[in-house]
Chain A
Amino acid sequence: MRAPSSILPLALVEVTFAAGGRTIVDAITCEIGPSARTVIVGPNGAGKSVLMRLCHGLLAPTTGRIEWRGAGASAVGRRQAMVFQRPVMLRRSAQANIEYALALHGVPRRDRWALARDALGRVGLGHLAERPARVLSGGEQQRLAIARAWALRPEVLFLDEPTASLDPTATREIEAAIDAIHASGTKIVMTTHNLGQARRLADEILFLHQGRLVERAPAIRFFTSPATAEAAAFIKGELPWT
């Protein structure tokens, strides 16, 4: 069987998003290609989450265009998934939450159970499969959200601060899971506040500041010799907490 053709690259052309009288994302132009792990960093309120929502299609840009330019771009919705900064779980078991997402993606009923179990196992939640999802701890819900997104086998996975509320052990587990997802051929686009994590996971960095894309660089170069003063200050300022 031939692999379906890719939906990537994703092109942003002068994308601006304004709300409440403020420009939150300011004329961003860039192209996000396949394979590399793209990590978006920037201070609080820089517009990272909004940019992700725009890319994922939950928000429409005020001006500018967002285009999936791959040959397989006709069914974009089902081939990307997103893990939110604050994921929402349905009032049913962890297992059933994943099965629900699989059902929406047209996975046949007989395959859902095993796929969901497998995804739970990969984030270390196998033993909590039958627990109601909403009573799980914040970190467990975050892992469940990653499992749910992963079970969909997306071509592109957006992760908005996937480890923000996790303890160090869980953070390692999630980073390993993200690595595995990437190794299985999924394009990773994520945000993080943790520059240590950005160093560990990123192939390339998009640095956002006040809604503008200030710098884009391969991860190694970004951390060793940032090209802009804002990025340098950001790295210097954030590093002590990583």
Chain B
Amino acid sequence: MAERKVLLERYDVPNIWELDVYRRHGGYATLDGLFAKSPTDWVEEVKASGLCGRGGAGFPTGVKWSFLAKGTGKPTYLVVNADESEPGTCHDRRLLERLPHQLIEGIINTCYAIDAHEAYVYIRGEYLEPYQRLVQAIREAEAAGLLGKTVAGQDFPLRIVVHRGAGAYICGEETALLSSQEGDKGQPRQKPPFPAVAGLYAAPTIVNNVQTISTIPHIVRHGAAWFAGINLAPESKSPGPRILSVSGHVQRPGIYEVETGTPFEELLYGLCGGIRGGHDLKSVIPGGSSMPMLPKDVILQTDTSFESIRKAGSQPGSGAVIVMDETTDIPTVVWRISRFYAHESCGKCTPCREGNPWSVKLLRRFVDGTARAEDLRILVEVAEAMEKNSFCPLGIAAAWATQGALKHFRHEFEARISHASAIAAGD
């Protein structure tokens, strides 16, 4: 079983982040054919490829582009979401650090297709080194005439501005990101209107993830049919290579680019070398901390296609695969995940702002073995309230973490109900 390296094909080339080196390895070759076709043709091409967004929601990219409001009299913007902060996710960082020109090439391709002349990259603040690499690459591209008043000699002006976030997970959510970039607190906005209609500065805006945009040059170069064929799962409508960040208890954690439909068993036991130190697998979170965890027997029957992960009761999310072996204490993991959401809640709505700290407090009792019999019931109720009533998906995700753990590992929580409390409750 091998990786299917497309975006990562040139990853190990020394100094690939430099323009000369990138060009010597086929970089910016898409600019030869790009302007020969009309923008609408490219939107159709990306639609036909079946590419689905890599940022978390998995929405079909070409379809999103076709929703852009026309004739508004306002400019159209592209905003690249480089806020990568979903626990477990670390591949956008590598794409930014090592392959900034692949992203810039993707931005040029995309901006031509959607008729945008200004693109913004919103990059998480903690990614200082990737930020510096990206800015350097943009300067190089400008100096080489690939950006600026003309792109590669074509009558197509394009400017890229990099905007640094400053440590707020919620700014990865697209409407919060737009508020943040506009200079306000990064809090989500009501949808609709969707960004494609009224996004940045109330103008039509496409928000796409770093990996999504880095994929575009490959579709432009090799065509939709080629991309759609990278798919081992016949029933899957989310084809292509996808980069997964595998962390936790495997022998070889890392970022792996695999064909849609690669079985998790092959990913974990083949590419990642199996579970560390001869331990047994216990559970896997397949799409970042926001997605429900799955137990061993379920994940080993699942493949990496969006459809298979959904059928198994979780979500592909950000592509962060977090692996836990049998020594892992599930309540402790869920407590830590819950603390993340409590810390990152933007405070706009009550279920999330109040529910998360409450969950953390309850979960801590399960970690410490001091939980009372009714704490389990309250934990379930708090999660339900967050899932049903939160304004944005952050509050829902926080609930899913708890619910996923309770669905498959309830016995571990029950075992932590303190003996004294169980007797008092008449159990």
Chains A and B belong together in one complex: no
Chain B residues proximal to chain A, CB less than 8 Å: none
Chain A residues proximal to chain B, CB less than 8 Å: none
